[in-house]
């Protein structure tokens, strides 16, 4: 039986769409992980006396210092991305929504990490007691590029999750080969065998194989 050419073209398009989606998710997640580990803020303190400054201390904070769940959220999003091709139907849509929500969480966390209140609160915990006991913590400089890239990575994941929730029904799945094998068990006569053969053909097309070869 020869598969219709339009069906083969649709299968190839769906496969390419899935690969592009996976690449976009890997880029967004990798970007967030890289940027979250970089120094976002350089800090300084001055311990003052009645005569003037008596000494100074300094420190720095990474994105993960400022928002402890940035990296866990990005890793969870990537894990959910890998689960999308392994599921089907409602489970695939739910997993796609999880990717989107985790992407939003990464972007929101990056924004929170740029707030003055967050920086000073975290700085008070990270800098040594000797430095902060009688000193005033100040923000000396900020590397805005890293929180910005973290936001971009989170938004890429969020957008990819929304796209998958809408488009993933057309994508091939990793489990179709096993489902095809399970479909041959039991009895159903000649009609059931014809249906199983048709299903096997379309599953092969979904996987990018040529059933006529």
Q: Which residues of 102-111 are buried (b: 16+ CB within 10 A; e: fewer)?
A: bbbbbbebbb
Nearest Cα to Cα of residue 11 among 201, 140, 172, 137: 172
Q: pLDDT value at position 59?
A: 79
Same domain, 137 and 76: yes
pTM tops 0.85, yes or no: no
Same domain, 61 and 123: yes
Percent of the chain with pLDDT over 70: 65
Distance CA 87, CA 99 (A): 14
Q: pLDDT value at position 179?
A: 46
- Using a 10 angstrom Cβ sphere, with 0-12 exposed, 13-18 middle and 19 or more buried, the burial of residue 139 is middle
Q: pLDDT value at position 55?
A: 41
Same domain, 133 and 184: no
Tell me: the pLDDT tens digits for 169-205? 888 766 544 444 444 444 455 555 555 655 665 666 5
Q: pLDDT value at position 212?
A: 56
Whether the predicted pLDDT of 34 surpasses 80: yes
Q: pLDDT value at position 201?
A: 57
CATH of the domain at 50: 1.20.140
Q: pLDDT value at position 192?
A: 52
Same domain, 149 and 115: yes
Sign of the torsion angle spanned by Cα atoms 84, 90, 91, 94 = positive
User: Average pLDDT of 21-34?
Assistant: 95
Same domain, 9 and 65: yes
The arrangement of strands across the sheet holding 39-49 comes to 52-62, 39-49, 135-142
Report CA Rg, the chain: 26
Range of the domain at 108: 5-173
Tell me: the pLDDT tens digits for 119-148? 888 888 776 543 445 456 777 788 899 999
Whether the predicted pLDDT of 24 surpasses 90: yes
Nearest Cα to Cα of residue 135 among 203, 46, 68, 7: 46
Q: pLDDT value at position 202?
A: 60
Same domain, 84 and 10: yes
Count structural domains, the chain: 2
Same domain, 143 and 195: no
Same domain, 194 and 131: no
Whether the predicted pLDDT of 42 surpasses 50: yes
Same domain, 67 and 103: yes
Same domain, 125 and 200: no
Tell me: the pLDDT tens digits for 58-91? 678 999 999 999 999 999 999 999 999 888 888 9
Mean pLDDT over the full length of the chain = 78
Same domain, 72 and 158: yes
Same domain, 187 and 169: no
Tokens of 29: 């997640």
């Amino acid at each position: 039986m020869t598969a219709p050419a339009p069906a083969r073209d649709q299968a190839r398009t769906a496969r390419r769409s899935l690969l592009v989606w996976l690449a976009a998710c890997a880029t967004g997640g990798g970007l967030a992980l890289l940027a979250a580990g970089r120094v976002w803020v350089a800090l300084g303190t001055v311990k003052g006396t009645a005569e003037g400054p008596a000494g100074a201390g300094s420190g720095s904070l990474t994105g993960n210092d400022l928002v402890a769940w940035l990296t866990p959220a990005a890793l969870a999003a990537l894990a959910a991305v890998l689960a999308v091709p392994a599921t089907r139907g409602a489970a695939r849509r739910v997993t796609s929504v999880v990717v989107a929500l985790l992407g939003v969480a990464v972007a929101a966390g990056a924004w929170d990490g740029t707030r003055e209140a967050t920086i000073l609160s975290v700085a008070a915990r990270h800098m040594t007691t000797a430095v902060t006991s009688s000193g005033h913590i100040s923000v000396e400089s900020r590397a805005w590029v890293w929180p910005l890239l973290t936001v971009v990575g989170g938004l890429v994941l969020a957008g990819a999750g929304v796209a998958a929730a809408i488009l993933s029904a057309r994508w091939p799945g990793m489990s179709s080969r096993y489902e095809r094998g399970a479909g041959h068990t039991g009895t159903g006569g000649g009609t059931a065998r014809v249906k199983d053969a048709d299903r096997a053909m379309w599953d092969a097309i979904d996987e990018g194989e040529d059933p006529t070869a």
